Amino acid sequence: MKRFLTVLVVLCVATALFAGGRQEAEPQEGEQEVRTLRVAAPPWIYKKFDLENYAKEFDAAHPEVKLELIRADKWGGPTYITEWKQGTTPFDVFVGGSGSMLAPLIAGGWTEPMDSMFTGDMAKDEFVGGFLSAGHYKKPEGGGTYYPCIPFVGEVSIIGVNTSIMKDAGLWAGGGPKPIPGWEPEEFRNWFGALNDASDLGAHVQIWDREFMQYNYCGPIKAMTGTFMEEDGKGFDVTSDAAKRWLTYLQEMHDEGVATYTTTDDQGYQKWKTNATGSFYAAQGHIMELVSVTENESDIAYLGWPDADKNGSIIWTHSVWIPKVAKNKDLAKAFIREVVFSKEMQQWSFNNYGKLPVMKDYYGEGITWFQDQMPTILSVADASSPIPLFTDLQEYLDILFKYLPEAAFGRMSVDKALQNIQDESEGLDFSDLRAQ
């Protein structure tokens, strides 16, 4: 589920057949003009959203539309731009694309503004706040903000707990998990200490690869303070007392054997699925994978870090978008509204694969598993934020990955790690494509 953020997709060579220059038959007198709508998406979208099946409903409801579905095997942003410069496009709407994938297209102003779609059931206040914020950008030409794409699926960094171990630890009451009481050292350590005593393989698991490192560091700081950014916007918070406290907790939990940190996502998932560790900080969908072992969804409950219900965590999304040169934008927007944002398709994806809907109303009736956990997941996701799309984000992540794991694993002091990040990131461009 996390990995869907980094899946790279490019249109098959065959899709070039759909590039501009296609001639459609002229309608005869009395006949309705038939227009073609070309919808592209990567294979995982077809699988995890049952896109082909739901597209058939649109096809049947619109006899005036010839619907063509395209499977995009790889991501071809630069190729698309080359075609767009010629005034042609191989598709009219694309279902998929993370922020980092779409960044060059958005920075170049190549996608159609989607602001007109926020009406009725798709009004902005109907969206999960954290997910919608991932589609909000500064206009490339300056002078305002807009939505060049709309997130249609999300993930949130959240704590999953093993309910059996929580009960053994005395951390269960009133039919649910006792939350971590707060950020003060004694209450924080006592909670994890009790969970550790009841866990064969430790109280907590985190994945410390280059991607999840961001969420591990920023999510709890945001829960603690309401932001994970420096006051001047130049990078993540590495100077506040909250930042030092959180990185110190990470180091202490590792050194004391309370937490296990893995260096790959697969190692983290496997550690959680031993059914012998108390909690796992990860995407909500990967936490659900414990059910593949225990075959009982009640073996999992969700928690936020202290104050995450009001301050949030970190989210990431995939979006739907329209090339600015597409001819049938009205049809593309109709498909987006009727199919991509249908309650049936979004809930089907969650009920089968754990992908989170982006509309608040979709967290209730129609959800077939983890119903009792949806309010917690929704409250955290609603208050969350995405990682900024800094101009020099990749260079910045290189620096963070050089020092944050060193501190978390106890190989470097917290103060030295945070100071080194400060020193080496000076001079980077922290301009953010997204709007605040």
Residue 322 has pLDDT above 70, yes or no: yes
Place of tokens 């297209």: 105
Instruction: Judge residue 14's burial from the number of C-beta atoms within 10 Å of its C-beta, 0-12 exposed, 13-18 middle, 19 or more buried.
Output: exposed
What's the pLDDT band for 29 if we cut at 50, 70, 90?
low
The residues, any chain, with a CB within 8 Å of residue 173's CB and separated by 6 or more, are: none
Residue 340: partners with Cβ closer than 8 Å, 6 or more residues away: 95, 152, 320
pTM, two decimal places: 0.91
Per the CATH hierarchy, to which homologous superfamily does domain 2-155+315-382 belong? Periplasmic binding protein-like II (3.40.190.10)
Q: Please give the sequence-ordered ranges of beta strands (E in DSSP) within 88-223, or none if there are none.
A: 93-95, 137-138, 145-146, 150-162, 172-173, 176-177, 204-207
Please report which confidence band the pLDDT of residue 143 belongs to, taking 50, 70 and 90 as the band edges: confident
pLDDT digits (tens, 9 = 90+) for 94-127: 999 999 999 999 999 999 999 999 999 999 999 9
* Angle, alpha carbons 85-114-366 (nearest 5°): 130
Residue 110 Rama label (left phi>0; alpha psi -120 to 50; beta): alpha
Percent of the chain with pLDDT over 70: 93
Count the neighbouring beta carbons within 10 Å of the beta carbon of residue 33. Answer: 9
| pLDDT 10s digits, 43-58 | 999 999 999 999 999 9
Instruction: Give the burial string for 354-383 (b: 16+ CB within 10 Å, else e).
Output: bbbbbbbebbeebeeebeebbebbbbbbbb
pLDDT digits 0-9 by tens, 186-207: 999 999 999 999 999 999 999 9
> For residue 331, is pLDDT > 90?
yes
Q: Are 67 and 52 in contact (CB under 8 A)?
A: no
Q: Does domain 156-311 have CATH number 3.40.190.10?
A: yes
| Span(s) in the chain for CATH 3.40.190.10 | 2-155+315-382, 156-311
β-pair partners for 70: 40
* Residue 61 banded pLDDT, cuts 50, 70, 90: very high
